[in-house]
A and B are shown apart, each in its own frame.
Chain A
């Protein structure tokens, strides 16, 4: 399973930047990042080179943060690959709460997504021959 850190950001300018700086100061790389934003607040989601250490640093700075497991899959770096994956998930009645994509060191496209039952989702994808991470 893929692990990410989710951080609650109250709507204060600079909170996301502050969060990234805390992680950078620990010599931790941010490998992927997405922000879910509303009018009043946001949730920052991060995959880093050392999630445990990043989490401890954030908590020490009074951020509300926790580690959340995602389903991670690797998809061929070609047009339409993501669409195929999404269609398969839909056929299996797997509801995606949120999703983000990033590239690994070899330039391979990777997808991380959140769903109700990540174990079940990962097993179904595996049985369809999708490479999970």
Chain B
């Protein structure tokens, strides 16, 4: 029988005890960054906020926000709270503008991150007897190394396969008899497809029982597909390189939302327009404050991720706040006929649909006071068409898939390969003509 918790005392702590812990840590953290990080001191001075004004976690809303922009402005070391000699690792991620953002970790930060990752691994059913196959990329990206240290912290066997070379991945999954796998959801599906082609028997050749999947948007449909095809329980793990990689939050077997490791990372949801804090069970932008981070603490960091938080009890006994599935980012989100639509949802539908490529553009307009949405998507070069009805059927089927995925109907326009503009960085996927009217 696998362990139920990695750190029972913290993970099942009562709400009142947790609040005391969070308050102590926040008070200390605010003083720490005020003394050590110039951008925080300047922001607090600008609104005449003194560290002593923060007396408990309830005062957190008084603190100014930190933006990705602040991290870029102070690249590379301006946001660090310790001298460079006290850092033990740097991670970096590329931004849409091509500029990097960097995060520095002290030894203690690495230990905390590993602890949170180990808690997540236990949620996926891992124990000290596990073999953890890590197919996330190792490098500046936090996925591979994040889970690696978590597996070691748990006392399991870490297999640092990294990404790529699928045939070898499958060989090692077989030979080492891994029970836990960690990778992106899309790679998990690709692996399953390759295994099927190679005639690998799930349950006999492959003995996986659980997996942690994250680092990209995925749907419940993908979760079911991964579980079915790989014969395991798929857990959703959340992290972001600025805060810590995978392990900031993760869901348990009851799938009531992702347990947020709120003894180290304090989450808030704020209205994405007014930035006013909003309570539980309402959607808004996720804001995170690191309560214990030494290297690069972040105070009320605006993640741009859209989510909601829940405080409802979970049958697993963990008492943390829970994050609902992150379906998109606030800077991409469209509101069409009152429904929140993320281009990433459209993209995952296109990826699953045969005959089209995930090269697309979304046009939104308002005609006779009604929002309209058109998805222009490229046909695959290999499709065979000589009849009008072939195209009509494809459009109808794709439109139905899109409607069930995003709850908004869209006109589908199929275009020739290469029609959609390619971009080296993040592509511009949406033209919203409503803004021009």
Q: Say yes or no: A97 contacts B413, CB within 8 Å.
A: no
- Known A-B contacts A62-B417, A62-B418; the reply to A6 vs B385 at CB < 8 A is yes
Q: Is B387 in contact with chain A by the CB < 8 A criterion?
A: yes
* Cα distance, A99 to B405, chains bound together (Å): 39
- Known A-B contacts A98-B387, A114-B387; the reply to A8 vs B416 at CB < 8 A is yes
- Known A-B contacts A8-B391, A10-B419, A62-B419; the reply to A40 vs B385 at CB < 8 A is no
In the assembled complex, the CB of B69 is this many whole angstroms from the nearest CB of chain A, namely 39
Q: Is A53 in contact with chain B by the CB < 8 A criterion?
A: no
Cβ-neighbour of A10 out of B384, B386, B392, B415 (below 8 A):
B415
* Cα distance, A45 to B415, chains bound together (Å): 18
Q: Say yes or no: A64 contacts B387, CB within 8 Å.
A: no
* Cα distance, A8 to B418, chains bound together (Å): 14
* Cα distance, A80 to B379, chains bound together (Å): 42
A-B residue pair count with CB separations less than 8 angstroms: 49
| B residues in contact with A59, CB < 8 Å | 381
| B residues in contact with A97, CB < 8 Å | 387
Q: Is A132 in contact with chain B by the CB < 8 A criterion?
A: no
* Cα distance, A45 to B418, chains bound together (Å): 22
| A residues in contact with B381, CB < 8 Å | 59, 64
| B residues in contact with A66, CB < 8 Å | 383-386
* Cα distance, A66 to B355, chains bound together (Å): 14
Q: Is B388 in contact with chain A by the CB < 8 A criterion?
A: yes
In the assembled complex, the CB of B382 is this many whole angstroms from the nearest CB of chain A, namely 9
Q: Is A41 in contact with chain B by the CB < 8 A criterion?
A: yes
Q: Is B414 in contact with chain A by the CB < 8 A criterion?
A: yes
Can you list, as one digit per residue, whether each of A37-56 has a CB less than 8 Å from chain B (1) or not (0)? 01011010100000000000
* Cα distance, A63 to B379, chains bound together (Å): 10
Q: Say yes or no: A43 contacts B416, CB within 8 Å.
A: no
Q: Say yes or no: A43 contacts B387, CB within 8 Å.
A: yes
> Which chain A residues numbered 10 to 69 have a C-beta less than 8 Å away from chain B?
10, 36, 38, 40-41, 43, 45, 59, 62-64, 66, 68
Chain B residue nearest to A69 in the complex (CB): B386
| A residues in contact with B384, CB < 8 Å | 6, 66, 68
Chain B residue nearest to A66 in the complex (CB): B384
Q: Say yes or no: A62 contacts B416, CB within 8 Å.
A: yes
User: Which bucket holds chain A's interface residue count?
Assistant: 10 to 19
Q: Say yes or no: B387 contacts A8, CB within 8 Å.
A: no
Majority-rule SS of B interface residues: loop
Q: Say yes or no: B414 contacts A41, CB within 8 Å.
A: yes
Q: Say yes or no: B383 contacts A64, CB within 8 Å.
A: yes
| A residues in contact with B415, CB < 8 Å | 10
Q: Say yes or no: A114 contacts B416, CB within 8 Å.
A: no
In the assembled complex, the CB of A26 is this many whole angstroms from the nearest CB of chain B, namely 19
| A residues in contact with B416, CB < 8 Å | 8, 10, 62-64
Q: Say yes or no: B379 contacts A8, CB within 8 Å.
A: yes
> Which chain B residues numbered 365 to 413 have a C-beta less than 8 Å away from chain A?
379, 381, 383-388, 391-392, 413
Q: Say yes or no: A64 contacts B379, CB within 8 Å.
A: yes
Chain A residue nearest to B385 in the complex (CB): A8
Q: Say yes or no: B388 contacts A6, CB within 8 Å.
A: no
In the assembled complex, the CB of B414 is this many whole angstroms from the nearest CB of chain A, namely 7
| A residues in contact with B388, CB < 8 Å | 36, 38, 43
* Cα distance, A18 to B384, chains bound together (Å): 20
In the assembled complex, the CB of B380 is this many whole angstroms from the nearest CB of chain A, namely 8
In the assembled complex, the CB of A5 is this many whole angstroms from the nearest CB of chain B, namely 9
In the assembled complex, the CB of A43 is this many whole angstroms from the nearest CB of chain B, namely 6
Chain B residue nearest to A41 in the complex (CB): B391
Can you list, as one digit per residue, whether each of B409-433 has a CB less than 8 Å from chain A (1) or not (0)? 0000111111100000000000000
Chain A residue nearest to B388 in the complex (CB): A36
> Which chain A residues numbered 74 to 106 have a C-beta less than 8 Å away from chain B?
97-98
Chain A residue nearest to B417 in the complex (CB): A62
> Which chain B residues numbered 112 to 126 have a C-beta less than 8 Å away from chain A?
none
| A residues in contact with B391, CB < 8 Å | 8, 41, 43
* Cα distance, A18 to B387, chains bound together (Å): 20
| A residues in contact with B414, CB < 8 Å | 8, 10, 41
Q: Which interface residue of B384, B415, B416, B418 has the most chain A CB atoms within 10 A? A: B416
* Cα distance, A12 to B128, chains bound together (Å): 62
Give B residues with C-beta under 8 Å from A: 379, 381, 383-388, 391-392, 413-419
> Can you list 26 A-B pairs, Cβ within 8 angstroms, ordered by A?
A6-B384, A6-B385, A8-B379, A8-B385, A8-B391, A8-B416, A10-B413, A10-B414, A10-B419, A36-B388, A38-B388, A40-B413, A41-B414, A43-B386, A43-B387, A43-B388, A43-B391, A45-B386, A59-B381, A62-B416, A63-B416, A64-B379, A64-B417, A68-B386, A98-B387, A114-B387
Give A residues with C-beta under 8 Å from B: 4, 6, 8, 10, 36, 38, 40-41, 43, 45, 59, 62-64, 66, 68, 97-98, 114
Which 9 A-B residue pairings sit nearest by Cβ, starting from the closest? A6-B386, A62-B418, A68-B386, A66-B384, A10-B415, A36-B388, A8-B385, A62-B417, A64-B379
Given contacts A43-B385, A43-B391, A66-B386, 7 further A-B contacts (CB under 8 A): A6-B386, A10-B414, A10-B415, A10-B419, A64-B385, A66-B383, A66-B385
